[in-house]
Structure 1
Amino acid sequence: MTIRFSAAYGGKSPAIVRALCPSAPLGAVNDNGCRPILGGSARRAIAAYSEQMHLPMQAANDQRMLTEALRHFARHGLSAAAHARENAEAAKAASDEEACRWWISICRQLDRRMADALARKIARHG
């Protein structure tokens, strides 16, 4: 099969110009940035909670955790992090610290900011 290429006249084809939305940026952006977003007090609160609960600060390299987070995401879709947060809160309410740590770690795999906010909330309220 022959593939032929024909460049658009003037650099842009009229069909594409009509389809583009000028107010929407076309480049992808990493909203996490290169530097940590958390301030010193938030970072200390998360570290204190992690140390108290014997929770590693970074569980991203744990293959089992990643696998379970992906399974959880497959079950719940885009609301998976919120479901993990709710499960962590329920486990904390039931005084099940191990399950709470597990669900915070799952939540951290899916949405770091949400998990960090939950860790701060738990650290504040005990």
Structure 2
Amino acid sequence: MRMLCCWAPLDAVNDNGLREHRTSPLLPSAANQNGHDERMLTEALRHFAVYGLSAARHARANAEAARLSGDDKACEWWIAVCRQLDRRMAEAFERRMARPG
């Protein structure tokens, strides 16, 4: 069988499991559970079903809106949804929120 793209790496993996998951400073450690909360995963998948590949971006936007309105609980929820879909985006958002100013 002939390969269509011989230079493409065939060993791609999900990088979320390659390092220890850091607990968010915004979430209690019991709520985070290393990202394996079944309810959170279900809700993240539902969010993905609605928004497709832009689901993480929508979750981050919802977290920003909740933060601006002063709803910390909703902000934490949307960051957790974003983390399920795109860990790096969620961590970048948390770093930006942690910066003073």
Band of TM-score, shorter chain = 0.7 to 0.9
**How does 1:84-99 map onto structure 2 within 5 Å?**
84-99=59-74
Matched with 2:9 is 25
3-state SS in 1 of match to 2:5? coil
Task: Give the total of aligned pairs.
Answer: 100
Return the alpha-carbon distance in structure 2 between the equivalents of residues 59 and 25 of structure 1.
29
* TM-superposition CA deviations, 1:23-56 (whole Å, max 9, x none): 212222333463349xxxxx6xx65x33xx5464
Q: CA RMSD in A?
A: 2.5
The reply on whether 1:70 has 2:54 as its aligned counterpart is no
Length-normalised TM-score, structure 2: 0.79
3-state SS in 2 of match to 1:101? helix
Length-normalised TM-score, structure 1: 0.65
Identity, % of aligned positions:
59
* TM-superposition CA deviations, 1:39-82 (whole Å, max 9, x none): xxxx6xx65x33xx546443523222111111000000111001
Gaps of 5+ in 1: 1-12, 38-42
Residues 59 and 105 in structure 1, CA contact (< 8 A), matched pair in contact too: no
Return the alpha-carbon distance in structure 1 between the equivalents of residues 33 and 96 of structure 2.
19
